[in-house]
Chains A and B, each alone.
Chain A
Amino acid sequence: MLDFVQQLVSGVALGCVYGLIALGFVLVYKATEVVNFAQGDLMMLGGFFAFTFIGMMGLNYWIGFAGAVAAMALFGMLAERIVVRPILGYPQFSIIMATIGLGYFLRSVAGMIWGTDDFKIETPFSQGVLRIGSLVLAHDKLSVIAATVILCALLWLFFNKTTLGTAMRASSENMLAAYYMGIPVKRVVSIVWAISAAVATCAGVLLAPITFIHSNVGLVLGLKAFPAAVLGGFGSIPGAVVGGVLIGVIESMAGFYLAEGWKDVAPYLVLLAVLLLKPEGLFGLHARKKV
């Protein structure tokens, strides 16, 4: 039983990171119908920014964290402006290819700047553990879960309670009508990219104590986060987080209880099963999108 709870907690923690990356996929997809395959690499870059600020420049953890988030938000806007906007409206494949290209580019540049070694960010949560009876839970894992919950609550408030957030939902539901309302759709899309890069950075920094940061971490985790987004129903924000947590838990459980090798296969098996039974995903809105 203890093992089970501990596996559950580390699965949820890892799953939260998948969920945050998936959230980035979903935000951009909802706003522009573009699947940003560089999402994982944005996370990687955010992690490296934080490593530079905290590990190399010796800034305070929180200041470095905030700095990395701000820098990446700007970077996200820039990426949208330079890579995506000029080809918006052209066939999906061109845009997908462009984002895949962006991902490759970011991986190589990160490799050139920071090398191909693994890096670790020292966090205030790296050492401590929480003991409940004989249950031992590491602070770094709990911090990931707590941060994800806070982040999701903030995003929920932003999207549901602010005018700008509502305008973002409006633009993603009907871009033409958003123009008719006088919503500056292009600026809204820029901000969506900024938010999604910022969320990815949070994922990267939170991940750093659990896994190490290296130039390929975005590719590896992106490939896990993408099924998480699909599992939740591409286009649903709560779906992305739930999908991420599910994949994380399944992976963690399979790694512990099943034979070697199941760990990487099990999430995809569950994904295939879900897609067979519920092709729109767990929280999918696709079938109902056009009213």
Chain B
Amino acid sequence: MDATLAPDIILKLSNIESYYGPIMAIRGISLEVPRGRIVTLLGANGAGKTTVLKTISGILDPQKGSIEFMGKPIQRMEADRIVRLGLSHVPEGREVFPFLSVRENLMMGAYPRSDRDGVAEDLERVYGYFPRLKERINQPAGQLSGGEQQMLAIGRALMNRPTLLLLDEPSLGLSPILVKEIFTIIRRVNEEQGMSILLVEQNARVALETAHYGYVLEIGRVVMNDSCDRLMHSQDIQEFYLGAKEAGARGERRWKKKKTWR
């Protein structure tokens, strides 16, 4: 992406380094999310995907580097102020409020907002995306199934009407049908509201089908980035993330093939 397109870049990370105690979890990551686009971060367990999201949303502070959200530096800002700027984070593992009702959970998503009419409108919109939540409006969120909790977590973040949505592993622990359902909604949110989305996903296939642009992370570094179409056709991605098998010289699966970026 060209730097001259700067006004259209909604989020820009430059050389971010984050630590968990003494352990360096991100080793200098730079990435960009253009307005209205879905960008995905791919990578194995421990690649640092979740850490990147936590660093963006202010739960972790980066040691080095800068994060710009809509032209404003937000590194080391308090998490609740970042949310108020229009950046919402759907955390890994859903993290709903178990004893609050579905409705109260959704209203907490709108906590920073004071426009009652807009909030009521967005509540209806979320019920439109997830009709199942409407059926359980007064139930404590802890009683919902995993899939419903994921819907609630996403709906709750949408209640902030964010400019940028960070989604961490929305497919975690869900059945294939639910995964499909949730990703359909993610695409709809992006298309209908023009919401920019930064998506972290282990399920590379569905992530590449959903997103426009992808970054591949390995042990805290970006090793590859390209449009999702091209990533999908890259040999390395096919073999290491999509599970395509290539027959070796002796007709066996070759496990130790070198990746091109090593």
Contact = CB atoms under 8 A, between A and B. Distances in A.
Interface of A: 163, 166-167, 169-170, 173-174, 176-185, 285, 288-289, 291
Contact of B100 (A169, A184, A185): A169
Given A169-B99, A174-B95, A181 B104 contact: no
Given A166-B107, A167-B108, A291-B142, A179 B97 contact: no
Contacts of B49: none
Contact of A180 (B79, B98, B99, B104): B79
B89 to A, nearest CB: 5
B194 interface: no
A30 to B, nearest CB: 11
Contacts of A163: 107, 111
Interface in B98-124: 98-100, 104-105, 107-109, 111-112
A181 B90 CA distance: 9
Query: Chain A CB within 10 Å — which of B89, B90, B111, B142 has the most?
Result: B111
B39 interface: no
Interface string B153-172: 00011001000000000000
B89 A173 contact: no
A167 to B, nearest CB: 6
A176 B95 contact: yes
A166 B90 CA distance: 20
B104 to A, nearest CB: 5
A291 B145 CA distance: 11
14 contacts: A163-B107, A166-B100, A169-B97, A170-B104, A173-B98, A177-B91, A177-B95, A180-B59, A180-B83, A180-B90, A181-B83, A182-B82, A182-B83, A184-B78
Interface of B: 57-59, 78-84, 88-91, 95-100, 104-105, 107-109, 111-112, 142, 156-157, 160
Nearest to B109: A181
Given A181-B111, A182-B112, 18 more contacts: A166-B100, A167-B111, A170-B97, A173-B99, A177-B91, A178-B108, A179-B59, A180-B57, A180-B88, A180-B89, A180-B91, A181-B83, A181-B109, A181-B112, A182-B82, A183-B111, A184-B78, A291-B142
Given A163-B111, A182-B80, A177 B97 contact: yes
A285 B140 CA distance: 14
A171 to B, nearest CB: 9
A176 B142 CA distance: 16
A173 B140 CA distance: 12
Contact of A181 (B59, B78, B99, B156): B156
A173 B100 contact: yes
B104 A185 contact: no
A166 B99 contact: no
Contacts of A291: 98, 142
A288 B142 CA distance: 10
Contacts of A170: 97, 100, 104-105, 108
Contacts of B104: 166, 170
A184 B112 CA distance: 9
A181 B108 contact: yes
Contacts of A174: 95-98
Contact of A183 (B105, B108, B142): B108
A99 to B, nearest CB: 26
B50 to A, nearest CB: 13
B79 A166 contact: no
A179 B78 CA distance: 9
A178 B78 CA distance: 13
B96 A179 contact: no
A178 to B, nearest CB: 8
A180 B59 CA distance: 8
A176 B97 CA distance: 10
A166 B97 CA distance: 11
A178 B96 CA distance: 9
Query: Chain B CB within 10 Å — which of A177, A184, A285 has the most?
Result: A177
Contacts of A285: 99
A252 to B, nearest CB: 34
Contacts of B95: 174, 176-177, 180
